Structure formats: C-alpha cells, structure tokens
C-alpha cells in the first residue's frame, strides 16, 4: 500500500509533459513534486526522525546495535505453560501483605527511633508506679495503658470470683446438712406435711356408745 | 548506651600478663580478627546507636521491676479458704520463676568462666562449679519432677515425701 505522498510523486512523474520549454504546468508539477517529497519525509503518520533534523534534508544514520539473541536473531514465540495465575497470585500476595505491612513497619520504626525504649530505674521512695510503667517498650506501655486492666485489678477480679464460688459451695453444703437434720428430727420448717384441723373432724358417728 | 556486664561477676582475663613471647614472624590472627570485628560490626553499630540516641534527646521514661508483698503460704491458710489458697499459689508461682532465673544466672556464670579459662576450667573455676552444683541440687530436690502442671500443693506434697524419707533414714 503506497502512502498518498509517494503516489502523488509517481503520478507527477508520469504526467510530466515532454516539451522543453518550462511552462507553468511544469513549474506547477515540480512544485507538487517537491511538496510530495516533503510530505513523504515528514509524514505525521510515520514519524521516524528526531526533532533536531526535522526540516533539514539529512537523514540520521541509525547505529547498528549488536544484539545477541538466543534464537540467532530470529524472533521466536516460546511455547510454555501459562504462568499468569502464578504471577497473579504472587502479585496479589505481595500487595496484600505490604498493604498493611509497610505502615506497620514504618510505625514501629518511627516509634523505636523517635520515642525509644524506657530505662530501668529504682522505684523512688513513696511513689507507686502505674501499672503500665512496668513495661519497657513504648507500644507495650501504650497497650497496657489504653486497653488492658492492671494486673492488680485482674488479681482482685480473680479473687472475687473465687470468693463468690466459695460462698456458693458453702451455701450448697450447708443446705444439704440442714436438709438432713430437718428430715431426721422433723422440728424444722422444712418437710412439714399439713394435716387437717382437729376441729373439723366430725365425731358424731362415735360420740355416744349406743349410736 | 545500655550498661555493659558486671565486670566483677564476669571478669575478663588480664591482657598484660603473661608477657607474649612471639616466636613466629606471622601476625597474630586473633588480633586481626578482633580488629576486623571491631571495625566492621562494633563501630558502625555503636555510631548508629549514638545517632539514634541523639535524635531521642528528651526526657527518658523509666520502667520498674514490680515488688510483690509476701502473703501467707499454703501451710498457713485455713482449710477451705480458697482465696488464701489462690494467693499462696500465685506467690509460689512467682517464686518458681525467680528460682528458674537464679539457676539460669548461675549456669551463665559457669559457662562464661569455662569460656574464659579454656582447658584449665576445672581448676580455675572451682567456686563457680561448686555454686552451680549446690544450686542445681537444691532446685532439683525442691522443684525437680513436678512437671508442667506443677502447683504449690504438689510441691508441698513432694516436700512431705522428702521429709518422711529423711526421717526414715535417720
């Protein structure tokens, strides 16, 4: 497929009149030819030259680069099984790990550089340290301060639970003991069987001996 | 900079005596290696640490070691007083951890002594050896085969067995 510029050049060459006198037609033709050659070189669809020698008539000499191909210069289409899924998996793995990993790593680095760990010191006289002041790293201290209860409070909570369970066990044991006693002796409020009132008994069938 | 180790506990062997009697003209490889280690590892790490501490030039926060009060032990608790049992159990666990750390420290001292003295350690480290033997025997007799579910009660029962065995022997 010829481009339009070279087509114009070819037709201009064919249609040149053979008379010797330079006529307007010939001048026009030669102008057309120059213009066609110009557009052929500067075709925007086929921009191959650099901008420095755009309007000059020279052509840049391309360097012959020596490229070693394993296929001896011939372009090969290597047929191998698809690695699309593997590469996609690894890409997504790296992406999701680094999505949270990089901010966390940056945070920990900046905390370690700019805030720094605490130093061990003797407890000053008459001072009760807060429960987070028993840890070294600033992030551990922050977690202990903001989220966790103090170990003293946890200890007391556990002792409270034990006390409640002990009281329940004691109550249950006592209840069994009391039950046994009341069953045996029968003089307590439990295990009372209500009998009828004596005044309700009708003694009339046996009230007199001759009835 | 964090403090160096206690020089009284882990003494370094003196570097002046004995006088070195070099017979060969080759350089001392130990010296070369120690200088290499110093310039490639020690110096960069120390300067990095100093730079970081220069950035952190502010009020340093402190952390403390918690001090626990002594509470009545298992033998001093009333029977059925579960809260007292719990406190005695917690105290026993803390003491167990402390004893484990004591044994580790004694082991570390013996190890350091052996490293220092080299082939003649059985003679030069006699004190550390005796200390280690004593401490490990005591630890074994008190906490020895209690296992992973060790508790204050089991330790007390083990002590009772030990005392009974001693009485039978006597």
Asked whether the predicted pLDDT for residue A147 surpasses 80, the reply is yes
User: What is the overall mean pLDDT for chain B?
Assistant: 89
Question: How much of chain B exceeds pLDDT 90, in percent?
Answer: 65
Closest CB from B62, B80, B87 relative to A119: B62
Q: Which residues in chain B have their CB less than 8 angstroms from residue A118's CB? A: 60-63
pLDDT: which is higher, A159 or A26:
A159
Question: What are the φ and ψ backbone dihedral angles of A120, each rounded to 5 degrees?
Answer: -75, 135
Minimal Cα distance from A163: which residue of B? B83
Q: Is B55 in contact with A113 (Cβ distance < 8 A)?
A: yes
| Cα A111 to Cα A140, A147, A191, B53, distances in angstroms | 11, 19, 72, 13
pLDDT value of residue A41: 65
Q: B82 touching A, CB under 8 A? A: yes
Does the pLDDT at position A54 exceed 80? no
Instruction: Indicate if the pLDDT at residue A159 is higher than 70.
Output: yes
pLDDT in tens, A77-136: 899 999 999 999 999 999 999 999 999 999 999 999 888 889 999 999 999 999 999 999
pTM check: above 0.90? no
Give me the pLDDT at residue B31, please.
85
The pLDDT tens digits of the residues spanning A166-211 come to 999 999 999 999 999 999 998 889 988 888 899 998 888 888 888 6
- The beta-carbon neighbor of B86 closest among A119, A121, A162 is A162
CB contact under 8 A, B62 and A138: no
The continuous run of DSSP H or E covering A11 comes out as helix A4-14
Does A121 sit within 8 Å of B64, measured CB to CB? yes
Residue A34 — pLDDT band, cuts 50, 70, 90?
Answer: confident
B62, B69, B64, B101: which is closest to B88 by C-alpha? B69
Whether residue B53 lies within 8 A of chain A, CB to CB, comes out as yes
Min Cα distance A182 → chain B (Å) is: 25
Residues 110-149 of chain A whose Cβ lies under 8 A from any Cβ of chain B: 113-116, 118-123, 129, 133-136, 138, 141
Do the chains contact at A159 and B53, CB–CB below 8 Å?
A: no
Q: What is residue B5's predicted lDDT score, i.e. its pLDDT?
A: 79
What confidence tens digit (pLDDT) does each residue in A9-31 have?
565 556 555 455 556 677 777 78
Q: How many CB atoms within 10 Å of residue B116?
A: 14
First CA to last CA across chain B, in angstroms?
57
Say how many C-beta atoms besides its own lie within 10 A of residue A182's C-beta.
15
Interchain CB distance below 8 Å, B56 and A115? yes
B90 lies within 8 A of chain A by CB: yes
pLDDT at B6: 82
- Check B64 against A122: CB less than 8 A apart: yes
Query: Is B3 touching A (CB cutoff 8 A)?
Result: no
Say whether residue A159 is in contact with chain B using an 8 A CB cutoff.
Answer: yes
Residues 6+ apart with CB under 8 A from A12: A29, A32, A33, A36
**pLDDT on residue A23:** 67
If you measure CA to CA, which chain A residue comes closest to B2? A119
ipTM rounded to 2 decimals = 0.77
- What are the angstrom distances between the C-alpha of A194 and each of A92, A199, B112? 81, 15, 86
State whether B62 and A158 contact (CB < 8 Å): no
B60 at interface of A, judged by CB pairs closer than 8 A: yes
Question: For A119, which of B52, B55, B60 is closest by C-beta distance?
Answer: B60
Give, in order, the Cα–Cα distances in Å from B10 to each of A38, B6, B131.
91, 6, 15
């Amino acid at each position: 497929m010829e481009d339009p510029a070279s087509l114009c050049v070819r037709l201009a060459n064919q249609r040149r009149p053979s008379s010797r006198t330079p006529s307007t037609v010939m001048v026009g033709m030669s102008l057309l030819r120059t213009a066609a050659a110009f557009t052929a070189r500067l075709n925007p669809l086929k921009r191959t030259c650099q901008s420095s020698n755009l309007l000059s008539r020279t052509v840049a000499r391309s360097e012959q680069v020596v490229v070693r191909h394993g296929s001896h210069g011939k372009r090969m289409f290597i047929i191998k099984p698809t690695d699309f899924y593997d590469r996609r998996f690894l890409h997504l793995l790296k992406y999701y790990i680094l999505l949270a990993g990089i901010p966390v790593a940056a945070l920990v680095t900046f905390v370690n550089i700019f805030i720094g760990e605490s130093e061990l010191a003797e407890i000053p006289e008459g001072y009760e340290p807060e429960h987070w002041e028993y840890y070294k790293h600033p992030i551990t201290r922050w977690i202990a301060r903001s989220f966790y209860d103090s170990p003293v409070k946890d200890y007391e909570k556990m002792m409270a639970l034990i006390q409640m369970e002990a009281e329940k066990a004691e109550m249950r044991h006592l209840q069994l003991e009391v039950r046994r006693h009341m069953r045996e002796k029968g003089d307590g409020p439990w295990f009372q069987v209500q009998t009828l009132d004596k005044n309700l008994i009708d003694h009339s069938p046996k009230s007199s001996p001759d009835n | 900079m964090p403090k160096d180790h206690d020089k009284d506990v882990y003494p370094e062997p003196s570097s002046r005596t004995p006088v070195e009697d070099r017979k060969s003209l080759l350089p001392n490889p130990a010296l070369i290696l120690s200088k290499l280690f110093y310039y490639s590892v020690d110096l960069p790490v120390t300067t990095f640490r100093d730079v970081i501490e220069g950035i952190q030039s502010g009020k340093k926060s402190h952390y403390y070691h918690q001090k626990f009060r002594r509470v009545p032990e298992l033998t001093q608790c009333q029977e059925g007083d579960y809260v007292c049992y719990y406190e005695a159990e917690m105290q026993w666990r803390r003491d167990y951890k402390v004893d484990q750390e004591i044994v580790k420290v004694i082991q570390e001292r013996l190890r350091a002594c052996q490293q220092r003295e080299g082939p003649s350690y059985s003679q030069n480290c006699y004190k550390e050896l005796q200390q280690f033997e004593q401490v490990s025997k005591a630890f074994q007799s008190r906490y020895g085969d209690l296992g992973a579910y060790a508790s204050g009660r089991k330790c007390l029962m083990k002590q009772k067995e030990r005392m009974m065995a001693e009485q039978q022997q006597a």
